[in-house]
Chains A and B, each alone.
Chain A
Amino acid sequence: MTTVKPWSDLLGASERLDVAPAFDELREQPLCRVQLPYGEPAWLVTRYEDAKVVLGDPRFSRAAGAGRDEPRTRLHMGSPGNLLRLDPPEHSRLRRLVAKAFTARRVEQLRPRAQQVADHLVDRMLAAGPPTDLVEDFALPLPITVICELLGVPVEDRHDFRVWSDAFLSTTRFTPEEVAEHTGRMRDYMAGLIAERRKAPQDDLLSALVEARDQHDRLSEEELLTMAEGILVAGHETTASQIPNFVYVLLTHPQALAALRADPDLIPQAVEELMRYVPLGNGAGSARYALEDVELGGVTVRAGEPVVVALQSANRDGSVYTDPATLDLERKEASHIGFGHGPHHCLGAQLARMELQVALGTLLHRLPDLRFAASEEGTVWKTGVATRAPARMPIAWDQ
């Protein structure tokens, strides 16, 4: 077996939204062995086609990670009963309970409300005048408001659950004790909301899940709690990260920005290209365990061995994308795997797409000459969490 190298030795430290140049070489070679910050060593997949096999082929299992010290970038492994820790058909039983709330059709019905929230946030920014922090004043409150209303969580509690959510995604920001404390608080909070819905159901997803549990016994109490937490955390954190990430990329690619301003109809495809281009995950995704020996990427992955996928590399695979490191809003090639692939393809993908379209459309339309407040250097990047995004991004515009 080949040598195991730590992720940081293989790829170095990535600044801002840079994708490590070492991926270009790794994609040319057979799979290599990697030691992620936590858990056992794994095979590292960097090519697009191999990534789709690992993520989509039932010979690779998430559930088989139970009881193993899973290779991972984040400290927290995810609660048992989390969708991401199950395989079909158990996974399907739970996912079906919530999938309907996130279909393209249902998400379109939420678009006017998302637009209203975005407009309201921009109204406040215009009233206060530049500069403003895009993260705090727009990128966070937009997806948080939408997911809170959908799920049935009071949006005014956001300052609490934001800290708890960060703990789920912590790589090094929190100690193990802090992670346990924050994730415990999230659980208590969600248990409290569930108890309220039991007494007085509302027209929201949380009430629907409580009904699925109490009247139809379709999930356990633990699964109900885990699902609600997962939707709240994943339902805002990623989109809140991608809004400033996308704006950052556009402000540092003036031609693309000008094209988008000139033709707002380009926004949906721009969102797809930005999903491909932006390396949201700061490391590799959740490990899959081979259920049998599988020939993959020039090696034999033995039954029982874990494999991790670097989506940011797969999305820059030169055998799939021409000039993969170039942002090309008119790209017509294969769909990106920024939302993953296979049974665990992002549950909220359609919601994220809609929110990102609304966010970019609103910012570009309503803030003339949107720009960095001082310079690109004013953007402060998050550290110690699994998603890459600005912690603060001061922006300005012509008032």
Chain B
Amino acid sequence: MTWLIEVDGRTCIGSGICAGTAPGHFTLVDGTSRPTRREADPADEAVDAAESCPVEAISIRDKETGEILAPQQ
């Protein structure tokens, strides 16, 4: 399974929670988070980051089905 990881840069408030929680998946560029890779293997810490984002700016989807895996609604 491959995941698609996205960050909505307009919603992101640059809290740094994701980059500190899943440093392999997120990085801050000029104070705003970006995924280090758009496609990634499943990883718990990426879900932790998406579920911890205070403005729900991160989304993780299944690349094949498009199903939203995190954050939970």
Contacts and interface: CB of A to CB of B under 8 A. Distances in A.
Interface of A: 52, 55-58, 88-89, 91-93, 95-96, 99-100, 102-105, 334-335, 339, 341-343, 345, 347, 349-350
A102 B20 contact: no
Given A88-B20, A88-B45, A89-B45, A103 B55 contact: yes
A335 B14 contact: yes
Given A92-B52, A100-B51, A105-B56, A345 B23 contact: no
Interface in B3-54: 13-17, 19-23, 28, 31, 44-45, 48-49, 51-54
B31 A341 contact: no
A56 B45 contact: no
A347 B49 CA distance: 13
Given A88-B22, A100-B72, A343-B16, 9 more contacts: A55-B16, A88-B21, A92-B21, A92-B45, A100-B51, A100-B71, A103-B55, A349-B54, A350-B54
| Prevailing SS type, chain A contact patch | helix
Contacts of B14: 335
A55 B28 CA distance: 13
A157 B42 CA distance: 46
B31 A345 contact: no
Contacts, number: 75
A339 B20 CA distance: 15
B72 A345 contact: no
A334 B28 CA distance: 13
Contacts of B16: 52, 55-56, 341-343, 345
A339 B15 CA distance: 8
30 contacts: A55-B16, A56-B16, A56-B19, A56-B28, A57-B20, A57-B23, A88-B21, A88-B48, A89-B21, A89-B45, A92-B48, A92-B51, A93-B48, A95-B52, A99-B51, A99-B52, A99-B54, A100-B51, A100-B71, A100-B72, A103-B53, A103-B56, A335-B13, A341-B15, A343-B16, A343-B17, A343-B21, A345-B54, A349-B54, A350-B54
